Amino acid sequence: MRWALLSALVSLALAQDELGGRLGAASSSSASALSSDVPTISASASASSAASSIPATITSAPSISEPVPSSSAASTESSVLSSAASSVLSTASASSASESSAASSTLTTAAPTSTNPATTTRILPIPVSETTFQPFPVPSDVPVPDLYPSTDPRNPPDAGSTLIPDFGPAWASAHEKARNKISNFTLEEKVSIATGVGWMNGRCVGNIPAIEPVTGRGWPGLCLEDSPLGVRFGDYVTAFPAGINAASTFNRGLIRQRGLFMGREHVGKGVNIQLGPMMNMGRIAQGGRNWEGFGADPYLTGESAYETILGMQEGGVQGCAKHLVNNEQEHRRTQESSEVDDRTEHEIYTHPFLRSVMAGVASMMCSYNLINGTFACENERIMNDIIKFEYGFQGFIMSDWQATESTISAMTGLDMTMPGDVTFDSGDSYFGGNLTAFVNNGTIPEARVDDMATRILASWYFLHQDNSSFPSVNFDAFLPDNETTNEHIDVQDDHFKLVRQMGAASTVLLKNKGVLPLTGKNTPRSLVLIGSDAGPGRAGPNQFADQGGSDGILAMGWGSGTANFTYLITPLEAIQHRARKDRTSISWLLDDFDLPRAGNMAIKKSAALVFVNSDSGEGYITVDGNEGDRKNLTAWHGGDNLILSVAAQNNNTIVVVHSVGPLIVEPWIDHPNVTAVLWAGIPGQEAGNSLVDVLYGAWNPSGRLPYTIAKQAEDYSAQLVTGGQGQDILNIPYNEGLMIDYRHFDANDIEPRFEFGFGLSYTNFTSDGKFAKAWENGTPSPNVEGGSRALWLHRPAFKVTFDLKNSGPVFGGDIPQLYVNFPASSGEPPSVLRGFTNVEVSPGKTENVELTLSRYDLSVWDTEAQGWKLPKGTIGVTVGRSSRDGRLKGKVPLDTD
């Protein structure tokens, strides 16, 4: 693609699931709010074992969930609480003794490299004492027509709209209904709303019990079900592309539609709460669950989460933003403390949760890890100060499965414990009877239990799930063959069409020496497909529980973030179907390790397609020594050697990669016979058809990388931290601060192999553009309830418009990306993503493109004022096709020096 710069410098006119918890201090300050009108701006294998099929080693509950051992402190406190918590004094001293013991044991900090020995950190105890409680206020926002309209979650603005939905009136109505409902409940009944029934004691992975009569004074309870890409454990469901592929499209419309269809399928099965989307950052390239999320940039992750939630909740299911927060690796996730400074927390890691609140998300899930020495599910700084106060969140926070650490966590912000028992099948709970006892003995005010129950019921009303037409649960997550509890309802509709389209739209063309698409002069007379990833597994697409193994095409990672495949189209199946149309001769070899035969079969073929992959997942499953996180960044099944063996014998070797994240491609990327590379990610059940659409030009490649592909693993700013033993708490310092992924590469002038946002096309584009001034003020935003989501901060402050012309020969799409260049004195990376859109243009035609920026987009977090502030100095803006492809440059003419 070619961009023509209009002027050199032009003015400018973010199992089931998981564990965690403890306490932090809040700071406050105030500042005056800003306001201004919006001016118009214009511009014309792990190298694997020798077996192709890799089975999994599953820790504890094999095919069902992610079992997580409770800490010794939790176990001790459990026994104390089970003794009935007879008095505040005795409970307090027992808990303190338990926590002091845990804190004084040998605990572990790890250096930010997988090779250095681990070091130790200390758990910060939460005191158990009498407390008071004042509920956070329900928003009193005033809707603004055509800018901030009153919005019902079932009827959100269109994808990519500049309208900012005001869910305040809908939340206020839902809270009023909830308060009225619980006014007739007993204390025990209110506590039951916050307490799961225990592991495998219901038909869903998480269950809140009903209060009888359900159609009178009571309610029907809740069904909570994974996952972020489909209905886990359900039959006749769609296996959607993973979150990482959704992000790769950079296409808000497709991301929204994916959320909508997933929401409808969950509702069709009777699910109240879909446990997703996942929005932890791809901070570590080897991170096991990166594929569930949306990549390595907070803006892209935030926008993907925003559109996904709007879609899910339009479909009628409650969204669940997870995992709150700093859960970026699987190794010792229940016994590691992520050490993160306040500015980095706000600008990188909690930003997607802010966008989730702005999307009206109904629930959140706190994570397994500690944050600065305090477990996430006990972390008052995160749950109360940031999420409920600063972000004005009106829904509820649940624990990850077995992540509740204490009864007193109810006072630090936790609203619901999942699955209810302290550990799976333990028969006791930190909430339930223990929470009731803490209220009765004066430790926890009943007003806080009222708040917990109100928040949970308000989310139910918010999504209109009190409607009599809402389906009852009609499947059984744990007994799928039980005909009494599984009605086998088909909820797939025609969602396969979106899966196929999104799979194509998320495929990134990394290299093309003119050999793709395989049409016209490139139509092959003969093709050979080489590699196990081209074909099916030996026992069908659901061969491994929770997809915890590697055999055949990789279309999904492993763990609780999965779904069963109703079917799976392989590349071999799809390419053979297309080959019949072109009368192409097809042959294949699905053995990854017979290198001589692979090379020989490639001789004299028009093209040789080599398929390689790399998998990862959740830590309760180990595959070929990969304990959730990947051991390295090399292709699995000896993929590098397979590519080189084929390329040695065929001068038109096309590489197809199905991977959960970045790989080091240096061994073969510059080989003269490797003529094209397609990065297909993990695209879901239509994987083969999606690939064929791109290979043969039915879809012009428009996917972009949601992360950086480095030349060597050491080039990334953060590495997987290993080590630790027994009850050690592994320390993970986030020393890179704001400099994750491409920001680190830019700041340190490190040349990547392929930068964030990179992707080629089959056509060319020409664009012209300029920018105009929008707003100017350097006062930090006020530290008030809901301050970080204030309308004045997020409304469009200025527009960026430019023309995009398709100067190539075929129809195609492009992804213009808008990057803000903060002054060096701000401490920001050289370039940060602040906008993107997808544009589809016919040959010879021109489209006018508009992007907007808000005051929030041009602000940094002021840790002293606890507000968002415009930094001093000149702010530049770059528009291009990737983080390093600035075709249009400009500056914001704000005099803040």
Q: Which residue in the block uniquely carries the two structure tokens 């402050």? A: 797
410: nearest Cα among 384, 371, 372, 373: 384
> Cα(20)–Cα(334) distance, rounded to whole angstroms?
7
Place of tokens 């928003």: 139
Residues 819-855: b if buried by 16+ CB within 10 A, e if exposed: bbbbeeebebbbbbbbbbbbbebeeeebbebebbbbb
Residue 47 CB-half CA count within 13 A? 6
C-beta of residue 874 within 8 angstroms of C-beta of residue 895: no
Asked if 400 is an active-site residue, the reply is yes
Residues 6+ apart with CB under 8 A from 525: 584, 585, 606
d(CA 473, CA 231): 12
DSSP state letter for 195:
B
Q: Give 771's strand partners.
A: 800
**Alpha-carbon torsion (813, 741, 325, 168), positive or negative:** negative
Cβ atoms of residues 653 and 511 within 8 Å: no
Q: Is 642 exposed, middle or buried (0-12, 13-18, 19+ CB in 10 A)?
A: buried
Identify the DSSP state of 388: I
Among 378, 357, 392, smallest CA distance to 127 is for: 378
Q: Cα separation of 474 and 662, whole Å?
A: 39
Q: Which helix (H) or strand (E) element contains residue 419?
A: none
Q: Which long-range contacts (CB under 8 A, 24 or more apart) does 143-150 make?
A: 143/168, 143/169, 144/791, 147/791, 147/795, 148/791, 148/795
How many Cβ atoms are within 10 Å of 522's Cβ, its own excluded?
16
Q: What separation in angstroms does the CA of 28 have from each of 47, 179, 714?
A: 52, 30, 39
Burial of residue 469, with CB atoms counted within 10 A of its CB: 0-12 exposed, 13-18 middle, 19 or more buried: exposed
d(CA 655, CA 315): 38
First-residue to last-residue Cα distance in the chain: 37
C-alpha–C-alpha distance, residues 652 and 674, integer Å: 6
- Quote the Cα angle for 395-398-399, to 5°: 160
Do 696 and 519 contact (CB within 8 A), yes or no?
yes
Catalytic residue (choose from 226, 400, 450, 451): 400
Q: Which amino acid is at 431?
A: F
Cα torsion 419, 423, 425, 430 to 10°: value is: -70
Tokens representing 544 are 């491994």
User: The tokens of 610 are what?
Assistant: 């080599």
Cα diameter, the chain: 83
Element (H, E) at 621: strand 621-623
Q: Are 636 and 266 in contact (CB under 8 A)?
A: no
Report whether 589 contacts 530 (CB < 8 A): yes
What are the start-end ranges of the H helices in 201-327? 243-248, 252-268, 298-314
C-alpha count within 13 angstroms, C-beta hemisphere, residue 269: 35
Catalytic residues: 400
